[in-house]
Structures are given as structure tokens and as C-alpha cells.
Amino acid sequence: MPDSNSKKILTAFIFAGNVIVLFSIALGFKGFSNPPAARASSDTLFSNKTYKLPETVIFAGEKLPLENFDTRESLEREILTSAYRHSSTILIIKRANRYLPVIEKILKKNDIPDDFKYLVAAESEYSNMISPAGATGFWQIMPETGKEEGMEINSVVDERYDIEKSTQFACDYFRKSYEKFGNWTLAAASYNGGRAAIEEQIGIQNQNNYYDLLLAEETARYIFRAVAYKLVISDPERYGFTISKDDLYPVLKYREVAVDTAVTDFSRFAEQFGTNYKLLKFLNPWLRKPYLTPKPDKVYIIKIPKEGMRNTERSENIN
């Protein structure tokens, strides 16, 4: 049994040990909440850079009324909640470099405002996403709607995954909506909320301006989300994203082959063209099976990787 002096010494050691532990924990939390500036700025693609919205913001040729508090706050909300999702937004910026040239070309051909290319960021983040409701592809097309517009959608072929055909589908929708509303912003909003719902609210509220209409939550945020992505993709550094040009996903180079007969094995088909099944399906995600049973009198255009496509150092120089 220890004497009184031993007890005092033991107590002193325990007290000193507890102080050291608590001090170490405090330093740990301080380091966690306030990391060194050099580490925070050099090891990340995103920095907490302060920003100020531009004085003037245009979408589809229409000026956003940022002098109105509700418009300004709605746009700021989407900048903060949509554009500042760090890793997700970085991927959107990277993908945009690959897919926007394809979308831009089709929009221009159909005389649709170039800004509509940012709706895809709001719809699917430039990916072939599938929603819980079954909307699929870059433009989030429902199966029934796609079939009504002549798209082939079945277990073998699903053209909603075809970026060119789905963009053409969207262009046709936008054109009809513009003819109905006479306004590109409302035409864009109708893609999310539906023409009937937009028309109903115009009648109830006696307003024909998107920024003056009270709409369902998702549709009310839709244009602002697209505009937020427009601002960030157009000028990433302004909003704190530092991504070098070399880190953007390159445009993939391919050639096209017309097919109007059955393909029993896409693995062997790919080998005939000097590529593999994986890359063939990557370029043609609308091919849903390892084979193709074509419709009568229909020609399918299949993308074949050009030599060097997989090598990003060479793909930029391939014609």
C-alpha cells in the first residue's frame, strides 16, 4: 500500500498527463479547423474565394433582373448550393469541355440559343444519368415522351443515351415551346415544368415573364441553376475553381460506320475495327446489348474510335 508521499507524486503525474492530453487535443482541433494556408491552397482544386455576381447576367438573350432582390437571391442560392458542390462541380467543368462542342453544334443548327447548353448541366451534369422516375440521358427524357417523338427505346437500343439524337429531341421541344410562349426563358422552363403547367400559371398570375412567375420549386430553380453553371463553367477561377486546361476532359475523336444489318457480337465487331468492346460501348451507350437486331429499313450510325483516341496526349492532334 503506497504512503502519502507516493500518493502525492502519483496524483501529480496523473494531473500532468491529463494536461498534456488535453493540450494535444486542443492543438489537433485547431489544426483541423484552420489548416495551413499553403496546404489549403496548393492541394485542392477549390478555394474559398470570395465572389461578387456580375452586374449584368444574360441568359438566352434575356437580361436577368438582378436589381430585384428575389431574382438576385435565387441566383446566389444556386451558385452556393449547385455550383459550389466542390467535386461534383469540378467534374461538370471537366465534362463540359468534352460534350459542349457536340451540343453547341446541334443547338446552332436548330437556331436554339447557345445558352441552352447549360440546361444539360442542370439536367444531368453532362452524363447519362437515370432519374428515380426513369428519365434518362443527358436531357433526361422519359420513355413514353421519347417514343411519342419517334425515338427508338427498347431493351436493345435506347436512343435517349445518344447525345446527338437526344439533343435534337430537346431542340424540337424548345422550338415548339417558343412558338407557344414567344419567350426563350419560358421555353427553357417548360422543359422542366411542362408546357401545360407553365401555361396554367401564366393564366392564374396574369404574368408572361419567368422572373415574375411563382412556379413549382424545381421549375422556379431551374433557370437559375442553369445560369449558375453558365457563370462557373465560363469563368471557373472567378468562383474559386482552379483547373488547368490540360486537366479538362478532351474531345474524343472517332469515325462513323453505317450499319443496317444484324450484329451478333459487338466484341468481334469491335475487333474488326481495331478497337475493343469497352471503348465501342463508351462511344455508343445507346447500344444496350452485346448485339444489335435492327429495325427494317433503318440505318444505325456507330462511332468507331480513331487511332490514339484513348491516349489523351495524342487525341488532341487527331483529325
Give the CATH number, domain containing residue 84: 1.10.530.10
Check whether residue 228 and residue 160 sit in a common domain.
yes
Residues 295 and 269: their CA atoms lie apart, in Å, by: 19
C-alpha closest to that of 287 among 268, 253, 307, 263: 263
**201 contacts: CB under 8 Å, gap ≥ 6:** 213, 214, 215
Assess whether pLDDT exceeds 50 at residue 319. Answer: no
Contact 57, 231 (CB under 8 A): yes
Per-residue pLDDT reduced to its tens digit, 267-283 = 999 999 999 999 999 99
Check whether residue 117 and residue 238 sit in a common domain.
yes
Higher pLDDT, 107 or 35: 107
Check whether residue 136 and residue 92 sit in a common domain.
yes
Higher pLDDT, 107 or 21: 107
Quick check: is 49 in a domain? no
Asked which of 13-27, 148-162, 236-250, 264-278 is least confident by mean pLDDT, the reply is 13-27
pLDDT at 86: 85
For residue 262, the one-letter residue type is A
Q: What is the mean pLDDT of the chain?
A: 86
Quick check: is 1 in a domain? no
Quick check: is 165 in a domain? yes
Choosing from 219, 247, 275, the residue where a domain stops is 247
Assess whether pLDDT exceeds 90 at residue 223. Answer: yes
Per-residue pLDDT reduced to its tens digit, 15-41 = 445 544 444 444 443 443 444 333 333
pLDDT at 82: 80
Check whether residue 275 and residue 240 sit in a common domain.
no
The CB-side HSE value for 293 (13 A sphere, CA atoms) comes to 5
Residues 99 and 120: their CA atoms lie apart, in Å, by: 10
Check whether residue 121 and residue 202 sit in a common domain.
yes
Choosing from 215, 247, 279, the residue where a domain stops is 247
Check whether residue 183 and residue 307 sit in a common domain.
no
Q: Residue 50 corresponds to which cell in the numbers above?
A: 470570395
H or E element at residue 8:
helix 4-33
Q: Name the residue range of residue 141's domain.
A: 58-247
Check whether residue 209 and residue 231 sit in a common domain.
yes
Check whether residue 243 and residue 258 sit in a common domain.
no
Number of domains in the chain: 2
**280 contacts: CB under 8 Å, gap ≥ 6:** 266, 269, 270, 287, 302, 304, 305
For residue 222, the one-letter residue type is Y
Quick check: is 120 in a domain? yes
